[in-house]
Structure 1
Amino acid sequence: MMKKKLVVLTGAGISAESGIKTFRDSDGLWEGHNVLDVATPEGWYKNPALVMDFYNQRRKQLKEVNPNLGHQILAELESHFEVQIITQNVDDLHERAGSTNVLHLHGELLKVRSTVNPNFILDWKEDLNFGDFDTDQNQLRPHIVWFGEEVPALDEAISLTETADYFAVIGTSLQVYPAAGLIDFTNSKTPIYYIDPKPIKIPNLRNPLQVFPEVASEGMKLLKKELLRFI
């Protein structure tokens, strides 16, 4: 018997429980930096040293944190469903928890890419510095989709969303587009489960909706119990 497909959109809230700070609730500041300075192409061109140092610090921080129960339950659900995670997060906590199908909409902290050739991408776990080049001697940059840049994985994310039997939204404010618009590509009969301690009202939603106003780990316990009723 084929497994039903559970597509999950995750955001900063699921990683926050592991100790990764976000700029979601802090007036546009991310670890004390204005987002415009460290998460835009303009910030990179203005001060690449600052941007590289910022992501070097984030990379170090990532080594010090671990997946939490929310990540772990999502991985466990692969025993019962075909689980596809679409994440706005740039960390690797889903993978470390055991999830095998993870699409990163906004890039990955543990990768870098060429400033000239966007298809030249390398795994990168240490500091990135001036003089770290691609094979054509072009400077490497963080493999992060900054504000104002295109989201290369968006089409794949839409295709996955269209095929979902169940769709879950976990720990995202549904304020950052185009990721927030994915929910509009679900089949109107697909049940949607929304886990967030501060859930917003989703406008023009046609789908059956169940809201769990909880942090990700507690909400995932409830979601797992709910979904296993369909097995």
Structure 2
Amino acid sequence: MSRTDRIVVLSGAGLSAESGLGTFRDVAGLWTRYDLNEVATPEGFARNPNLVHDFYNARRANMAAAAPNAAHAALARLSTRPGVTLVTQNVDDMLERAGARNVIHMHGELSGALCAACTTRWPAPPVMAPDDPCPACGVSATRPDVVWFGEMPYRMDEIETVLSRADLFVSIGTSGTVYPAAGFMELAREAGARTLELNLEASGGHFDEVREGPASETVPVWVAEILGT
């Protein structure tokens, strides 16, 4: 059994930046026009649901106009290999549109809607509004199915399980400094996994190996090495 039989990949905003989907740090991006406390917290949604829906409607339109890049396509190829788990902090659908299988969206998905009253989930329309009724209970408590600051990320038990069995942990396009994702490398390392960072610039984490550069360049090269192509 090779030491790369079980691979866990964590991806962040840097994976989709080259597709035109902004990061928190973009100087002139969508995020800079909004106060995150007002559009990415339960409290902000309670205060002004119209503002929050406007923000996510804009992000959904941005996503619809974007296309997967070479890094997404490479990870989609990798996802067909047995033992590979893709975990992403991104709420876009670029990995799925590139053909990736079984992606774990720990922060939810822009393409989903969630009823805050009964927790029913359904596909989000392009434009959502506060008075949209839940298709299950009829209550107007519709929100984007994304994880806001102060909320628990999705599928954490599943993520921790695959990390505890990993042979290789790879962090792509994320600083990995915010918990719980900040602890993923240590969980994998405790399991005996090697660790690799692919990022525009090194995050300063204690990875066994760091490769710097745009995701569209570094990720396809690494995937080709793993797949032997």
Tell me, yes or no, whether TM beats 0.5. yes
Matched, 1:164 2:163: no
Please name the residue that 1:104 is paired with.
105
Please name the residue that 1:153 is paired with.
155
Question: How far apart, CA to CA, are the structure 1 residues paired with 2:113 and 2:36?
Answer: 19
Tell me the amino acid that sits aligned with residue 157 of structure 2. Answer: D
C-alpha RMSD of matched pairs (Å): 2.3
Shift of 1:215: 1.4
CA contact (8 A) 2:108 2:154 kept: no
Question: How far apart, CA to CA, are the structure 1 residues paired with 2:101 and 2:227?
Answer: 20
CA contact (8 A) 1:59 1:125 kept: no
In the TM superposition, what whole-angstrom CA distance separates every residue of 1:153-204 from its partner, at most 9, and x where no partner exists?
A: 212111121122221100001122112211121144312110111212225x
CA contact (8 A) 1:29 1:35 kept: no
Please name the residue that 1:174 is paired with.
176
User: Structure 1: where are the runs of 5+ without partners?
Assistant: none
User: Structure 2: where are the runs of 5+ without partners?
Assistant: none
Tell me the amino acid that sits aligned with residue 95 of structure 2. Answer: H
Tell me the amino acid that sits aligned with residue 21 of structure 1. Answer: G
Shift of 1:212: 0.4
Matched, 1:211 2:210: yes
Q: Secondary structure at the match of 1:163?
A: coil
Map 1:185-200 → 2, pairs under 5 A: 185-188=187-190, 189-200=192-203
Deviates more, 1:215-224 or 1:68-77: 215-224
| Cα distance, 1:27–1:173 mapped onto 2, change above 3 Å | farther
Please name the residue that 1:223 is paired with.
222
Shift of 1:228: 3.9
Shift of 1:151: 1.7
Shift of 1:224: 2.0
Question: How far apart, CA to CA, are the structure 2 residues paired with 1:202 and 1:132?
Answer: 43
Shift of 1:78: 3.4
Matched, 1:20 2:21: yes
Please name the residue that 2:51 is paired with.
50
| Cα distance, 1:70–1:28 mapped onto 2, change above 3 Å | closer
| Cα distance, 1:27–1:42 mapped onto 2, change above 3 Å | farther
In the TM superposition, what whole-angstrom CA distance separates every residue of 1:104-133 from its partner, at most 9, and x where no partner exists?
A: 011100001111223x11111321113212
- Runs (4+) of structure 1 exceeding 6 A deviation are none
Equivalenced residue count is 225
CA contact (8 A) 2:26 2:32 kept: no
Please name the residue that 1:40 is paired with.
41
Relative to the length of structure 1, the TM-score reads 0.89
CA contact (8 A) 2:80 2:101 kept: no
Please name the residue that 2:144 is paired with.
142
Q: Secondary structure at the match of 2:144?
A: strand
Deviates more, 1:170-179 or 1:186-195: 186-195
CA contact (8 A) 1:21 1:31 kept: no
Shift of 1:80: 4.1
Question: How far apart, CA to CA, are the structure 1 residues paired with 2:125 and 2:184?
Answer: 30
In the TM superposition, what whole-angstrom CA distance separates every residue of 1:87-113 from its partner, at most 9, and x where no partner exists?
A: 000001111111102000111000011
Question: How far apart, CA to CA, are the structure 1 residues paired with 2:27 and 2:156?
Answer: 27
